[in-house]
């Protein structure tokens, strides 16, 4: 992910390696500092292929004290994991950047796996200082990242499953939508899903007896106002509603059960992965610092840690982290034109979590709320003010993690001087 940062480090590169990744094989190229091809090889995607790669690197000067850096177009997979475990620097180059570099070497637009590997090796040969190697995160934080991202994906899957089900129910079953329209979770609530499983069509809902409906409400976990909720649902289901033909309605009910099964699975995955993520996150030494911030609970804290990692050398300045998260603005200048806008190239997972963090901080922190109000008073719209708050709190998080201290409201949001207020405006 690109960031506005200083060069990673300056060093003399004697040989570089480029790997064009594929599903079942990889093309490997090693070049020297003069762009001369030292060796090339196609390896298989297994243990034998990895050993062949290590032998090729060793033949051209690779040693534990002076390892050859490797460029590849992905940051995931078994090959990358094994290379990182060996302690060498692995650079994950964005495929779009590789395409731009390819044009520097050939304008004919020809392309092959071998040529892509050569391009990757030459990127490190000429521009190593402008790219960052994969961070040296601990195994614990990498495990947290796996679970946190999986849980976030499960939340998005749950939302999509809910929207599909709701869209389908609008076609033939308005009663169930009306019954749970005032509920915060609507169809995601256990009560709604339990009743929908018992009565997937309006006809079946209208035939529900009071006893069956009370049992369904109880099975869903309700412990208070059971009788009142049962009466309310009976009244809704027995109203006169527009209906599809009986045969069509029954078929749509079967489709509802299939969509409901997908929603139930997504909800269960969300809950299970959230519990596993929180358990693992609380074992990390940074958990206490991260959760000391207003608006960051255990799960959102785990998502933050998953994306920023625990390699403190990764972001030497707070500005680097802000650019990575997409909270820092981008300035585009040309002649007399100057335009400041928000970032579009960013870590989308971190940016999404940042919005939730900033919103939750509004009620958890008086200083955060005051900062948000000041931004609105200077003309920022809702999302811009929220993004600015996230930007500030991200800088505070960087400071606290670097100095190993917890959040302090009095220091983080001290009353700004008049000159600072004028500058912010």
- Average confidence (pLDDT) over 401-407: 95
Q: What is the mean pLDDT of the chain?
A: 90
Lowest-pLDDT range, 57-71, 151-165, 250-264?
57-71
At 329 the pLDDT is: 84
If you count DSSP H runs as helices and E runs as strands, how many of each does the chain have, helices first? Answer: 19, 7
- Average confidence (pLDDT) over 288-299: 96
Confidence of residue 359 (pLDDT cuts 50, 70, 90): very high
Round to whole Å and give the CA distance between 236 and 182: 13
Chain position carrying tokens 């300056």: 10
Three-state DSSP class for residue 423: helix
Residue 340 has pLDDT above 90, yes or no: no
At 421 the pLDDT is: 44
Confidence of residue 415 (pLDDT cuts 50, 70, 90): low
Residue 169 has pLDDT above 70, yes or no: yes
Round to whole Å and give the CA distance between 422 and 308: 33
Q: Phi, psi at residue 98, to the nearest 5°?
A: -60, -40
- Of 254, 391, 280, 233, the C-alpha closest to 327 is 391
Residue 305 has pLDDT above 90, yes or no: yes
- Average confidence (pLDDT) over 297-303: 96
Residue 132 has pLDDT above 90, yes or no: no
Residue 10 has pLDDT above 60, yes or no: no
At 423 the pLDDT is: 47
The residue ranking higher by pLDDT, 106 or 23, is: 23
- Of 132, 85, 88, the C-alpha closest to 315 is 132
- Average confidence (pLDDT) over 380-389: 93
Round to whole Å and give the CA distance between 308 and 293: 16
| DSSP letter assigned to residue 11 | -
Residue 333 has pLDDT above 90, yes or no: no
At 129 the pLDDT is: 86
At 308 the pLDDT is: 95
H helices of 86-173, in order, are 95-105, 113-127, 139-169
At 98 the pLDDT is: 87
- pLDDT per position as a tens digit, 235-246: 999 999 999 999
> Of all residues in the chain, what percent carry a pLDDT higher than 70?
93
Neighbours of 300 (CB within 10 A): 19
At 416 the pLDDT is: 56
- Average confidence (pLDDT) over 224-251: 94
Q: Record the tokens describing residue 21, joined without a space.
A: 């990744």
Strands 15-21 and 70-72 come out as parallel
**pTM of the shown model:** 0.83
Round to whole Å and give the CA distance between 419 and 425: 10
Residue 110 has pLDDT above 80, yes or no: no
H helices of 25-138, in order, are 47-59, 78-85, 95-105, 113-127
At 76 the pLDDT is: 87
Neighbours of 334 (CB within 10 A): 7
């Amino acid at each position: 992910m690109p960031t506005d940062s200083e060069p990673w480090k300056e060093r003399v590169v004697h040989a570089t390696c480029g790997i064009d990744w594929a599903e079942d094989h990889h093309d490997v190229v090693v070049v020297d500092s003069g762009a001369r091809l030292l060796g090339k090889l196609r390896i298989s995607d297994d243990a034998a292929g990895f050993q062949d790669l290590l032998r090729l690197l060793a033949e051209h000067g690779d040693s534990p004290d002076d390892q050859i850096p490797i460029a590849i177009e992905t940051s995931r997979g078994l090959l990358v994991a094994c290379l990182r475990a060996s302690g060498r620097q692995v650079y994950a180059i964005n495929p779009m950047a590789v395409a731009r570099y390819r044009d520097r070497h050939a304008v004919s637009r020809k392309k092959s796996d071998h040529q892509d590997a050569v391009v990757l090796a030459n990127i490190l040969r000429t521009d190593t200082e402008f790219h960052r190697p994969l961070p040296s995160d601990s195994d614990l934080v990498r495990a947290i990242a796996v679970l946190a991202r999986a849980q976030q994906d499960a939340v998005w899957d749950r939302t999509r499953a809910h929207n599909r089900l709701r869209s389908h129910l609008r076609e033939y079953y308005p009663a169930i939508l009306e019954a749970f329209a005032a509920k915060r979770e609507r169809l995601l609530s256990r009560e709604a899903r339990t009743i929908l499983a018992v009565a997937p069509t309006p006809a079946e809902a209208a035939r529900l007896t009071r006893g069956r409906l009370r049992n369904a409400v109880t099975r869903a976990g309700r412990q208070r106002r059971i009788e009142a909720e049962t009466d309310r649902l009976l009244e809704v289901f027995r109203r006169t509603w527009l209906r599809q033909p009986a045969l069509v309605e029954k078929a749509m009910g079967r489709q509802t059960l299939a969509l409901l099964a997908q929603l139930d699975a997504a909800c269960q995955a969300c809950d299970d992965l959230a519990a596993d993520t929180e358990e693992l996150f609380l074992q990390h030494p940074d958990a206490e610092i991260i959760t000391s911030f207003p608006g960051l609970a255990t799960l959102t804290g785990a998502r933050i840690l998953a994306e920023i990692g625990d390699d403190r050398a990764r972001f030497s300045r707070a500005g680097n982290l802000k650019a990575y998260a997409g909270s820092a603005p981008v300035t585009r200048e040309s002649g007399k034109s100057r335009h400041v806008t928000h970032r579009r190239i960013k870590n989308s997972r971190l940016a999404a979590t940042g919005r939730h963090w900033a919103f939750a901080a509004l009620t958890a922190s008086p200083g955060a709320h005051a900062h948000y109000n000041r931004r609105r008073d200077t003309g920022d719209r809702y999302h811009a003010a929220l993004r600015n708050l996230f930007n500030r709190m991200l800088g505070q998080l960087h400071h606290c993690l670097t100095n190993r201290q917890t959040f302090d409201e009095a220091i983080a949001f001290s009353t700004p001087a008049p000159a600072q207020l004028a500058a912010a405006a």
